[in-house]
Amino acid sequence: MAPRSLWNGSIAFGLVTVPVKVYTATESKTVHFREVHAKDGGKIEHRRICPKEGKAVDSKETVRGYQVSARKWVELTDEEVAAAAGTQTRLIDVDHFVPASEIDPVYYEKAYYLGAQDKGRDAYALLLAALEKADRAGVGRWVFHNRERTVIVRPLGDALALHTMRFADEIVDPSDFDLERVRRKPTEQEIKMAGSLVEGLHTRFDPSDYEDTYRQEVLKLIEAKAAGKNIELPEPEEAEPADDLLAQLEASLSA
Amino acid sequence: MPRSLWTGSLSFGLVNVPVALFSGVRDRDLHFRQLHAKDHTPIETHRFCAEEDEEVPYDEIANGYDETDDGEMVILTDAELAAAAPHRSRTIDIEAFVDLEDVDPIYFDHPYVVMPSGEAEGIQRAYRLLVEVMGRSDRAALGRVVMRTKEYLALIRAREERLVLTTLLWHDEVRPTDPVPTPTKKDKPAKKEVDAAIELIESFSCDWDPSRYKDEFQKRLRKIVNKKAKGQTIEIPDEKDEQPSPVPDLMAALERSLEEAKAG
């Protein structure tokens, strides 16, 4: 069965338009729980309460507000928020191209696949082939569900992938966090030994080598609990803090 | 200083560094509240038990799983759930070192900043050692971290003399591309078309510079809020945009695009 597309529109590339459909590329495989009342398993409902009246309020009696001062709220309707999308909401204008390898992982937000529409498949095939050969990703903007994102379009096998990207001002600068001073910096000998550990553990990344074993453990727990077994609660374990770095590195290397 | 989202230790061989994880992203979006229409009282969300119609304090809430074969709901407390991986909930073991370029961006999930937790010289030195050794190599450390009842594969790298961590999706969380409609062999472009398209791409190529992108939607939304605060009306675009139709002649469109690119 063909998946359902989330958005239909076009990619503009010069004067060429590529009609596309957007599909989700990822899905969560986490074991999902619902909130329940511990003592009787009653389902938990989230209710809207007006704290002034202490009563539940129907969603029809509510409005969306933005706080401009301590007492003043500005009301906004759905249409007014959507008006911020501006024009050309059916178009992703890819107006420049970058080497994808230059992009730091922190910018990548969410991944989608682009499908070809029935009309304009030739344009899709052209963009795919040209990006592949030029080894570039196209950059544009996409407004989707009242959010605007910078997006990159890049070839991924026989399809185009679209990634929403975080804006630079959303990224926390690691140097905003202060580091304590150290009296003695790591020595060359320690760095060299740690470096050999790194090389010793070097491997070629293959995502299928790694399984979410935790997911399996959670499912086992559920089975045990369903069978009426007691779950043993783990004792807190204390990791040995680093004290004698050199000795620990030596021991790691000989392990 | 923001609150840490996870504390535990980072373990590299026999070296253990107590660390705290902080979010690597901050939210810049305008946020709205749901208000009671008649008097603008901000609405609160309270949790109620549907069985007894009573409000339930947060510490009486457990995790219910109702997809078992016999249709019975299984209830696990947070403490019981933590028993699923007691070690990994508190320790990130570095299992391997990989080349960043081998990790397809489709796996990248959420960024964090990893900071040493504790002022002891030994902790700080061990942290610096990891920063130093990872900074010198192009390799990223690969480990697993359990946060809020989910396990993630995680890449740890050095940036600006700190360690940063990016969670990765599991391979089975990335969907195959097969069901996505893609062009067939008969859509294969002619060589001269591909060459012209590459020329066009190259003429608009530049370095990745994230600072050039600004969130215009949020900017316009702020303007709308300000206008509304002053009692002005907001113009609502009345028509839905039409999707542009595909061009009839690809080669002609490419040639014209190239001419326009050259004309600047």
ipTM of the complex: 0.92
What is the three-class DSSP state of A118? Answer: coil
Last residue in a domain, options B123, B140, B173:
B173
Query: What percentage of residues in chain B have a pLDDT greater than 90?
Result: 70
Q: What are phi and psi of B107, to 5 degrees?
A: -85, -15
Residue B56 lies in a domain: no
Domain count, chain B: 2
Interface size, chain A vs chain B, as Cβ–Cβ contacts under 8 Å: 577
Domain span including residue B102: 6-26+73-173
Alpha helices in chain B (DSSP H): 78-82, 121-136, 191-203, 216-229, 250-263
Cα–Cα distance for residue pair B190/A129, rounded to 1 Å: 10
| Better-scored residue on pLDDT, B137 or B152 | B152
Label residue A130 exposed, middle or buried (CB < 10 Å: 0-12, 13-18, 19+): buried
For residue A155, the distance in angstroms to the closest alpha carbon of chain B comes to 11
Same domain assignment for residues B134 and B157: yes
Residue B49 lies in a domain: no
Residue B112 lies in a domain: yes
Return residues 22-81 of B near A (CB < 8 Å): 22-52, 56, 60-66, 68, 70, 72-77, 79-81
Q: Which residues contact A65 (CB under 8 A, 6 or more apart)?
A: A73, A74, A75, A76, B32, B33, B34, B35, B40, B42
The neighbour count for residue A201, using CB atoms within 10 Å, is 17
CB contact under 8 A, B168 and A17: no
Q: What is the pLDDT of residues B98-137, one digit of tens each?
A: 999 999 999 999 999 999 998 888 899 999 999 999 998 8
Same domain assignment for residues B133 and B213: no
Q: Mutating which of A198, A249, A252 best tests the B interface, going by the most B Cβ atoms within 10 A?
A: A198
The residues that bridge with B18 in the sheet, in sequence order, are B9
Q: What is the pLDDT of residues B169-200, one digit of tens each?
A: 999 999 999 999 999 988 999 999 999 999 99
**How distant, in Å, are the alpha carbons of A63, A72, A186, B17 from that of A198?**
56, 57, 16, 16
> Which residues on chain A are in Cβ contact (under 8 Å) with B224?
76, 80-81, 83-84
Residue A1: is its pLDDT beyond 60?
A: no
Same domain assignment for residues B17 and B129: yes
Return residues 106-135 of B near A (CB < 8 Å): 106-108, 111, 113, 115-116, 118-130, 132-134
Full set of structural domains in chain A with CATH: 7-28+84-169 (2.40.290.10), 182-233+243-254 (no CATH)
> Which residues on chain B are in Cβ contact (under 8 Å) with A220?
84
> Which residues on chain B are in Cβ contact (under 8 Å) with A40?
49, 51-52
Q: Mutating which of A63, A128, A235 best tests the B interface, going by the most B Cβ atoms within 10 A?
A: A63
pLDDT band at residue A236, thresholds of 50, 70 and 90?
Answer: low
What is the three-class DSSP state of B110? Answer: strand
Q: What is the pLDDT of residues A142-188, one digit of tens each?
A: 988 888 899 999 999 999 999 999 999 999 999 999 998 888 899 99
Same domain assignment for residues B202 and B154: no
Per-residue model confidence (pLDDT) at position B22: 97
Per-residue model confidence (pLDDT) at position A139: 98
Residue B44 lies in a domain: no
pLDDT band at residue A238, thresholds of 50, 70 and 90?
Answer: low
| Better-scored residue on pLDDT, A98 or B248 | A98
pLDDT band at residue A2, thresholds of 50, 70 and 90?
Answer: low
- Comparing A102-116, B19-33, B68-82, B140-154, which segment has the lowest mean pLDDT? B68-82
Same domain assignment for residues B158 and B87: yes
Same domain assignment for residues B12 and B105: yes
Q: Which residues contact A233 (CB under 8 A, 6 or more apart)?
A: B79, B80, B82, B83
Last residue in a domain, options B141, B173, B205:
B173
B111 and A105 in contact (C-beta within 8 Å)? yes
Same domain assignment for residues B81 and B196: no
Per-residue model confidence (pLDDT) at position A240: 61
Token pair belonging to A90: 């059916």
Same domain assignment for residues B164 and B192: no
A157 sits in the region (left: phi over 0; alpha: psi -120 to 50; else beta) called left
Q: Does B259 touch chain A (CB under 8 A)?
A: no
Same domain assignment for residues B146 and B86: yes
Mean pLDDT across A208-225: 91
Q: Which residues contact B105 (CB under 8 A, 6 or more apart)?
A: A100, A103, A105, A108, A111, A154, A163
Same domain assignment for residues B195 and B162: no
CB contact under 8 A, A116 and B91: no
Mean pLDDT across B227-251: 83
Sheet containing A44-50: order of strands:
A55-56, A44-50, B44-49, B54-55
Rounded mean pLDDT of chain B? 91
Cα–Cα distance for residue pair A210/B95, rounded to 1 Å: 11
In CATH, what number is assigned to the domain containing residue B14?
2.40.290.10
Residue B139 lies in a domain: yes
Same domain assignment for residues B253 and B135: no
CB contact under 8 A, B171 and A208: yes
Q: Mutating which of B49, B69, B113 best tests the A interface, going by the most A Cβ atoms within 10 A?
A: B49
Per-residue model confidence (pLDDT) at position B195: 95
CB contact under 8 A, B133 and A194: yes
Same domain assignment for residues B13 and B133: yes
Last residue in a domain, options B143, B173, B203:
B173
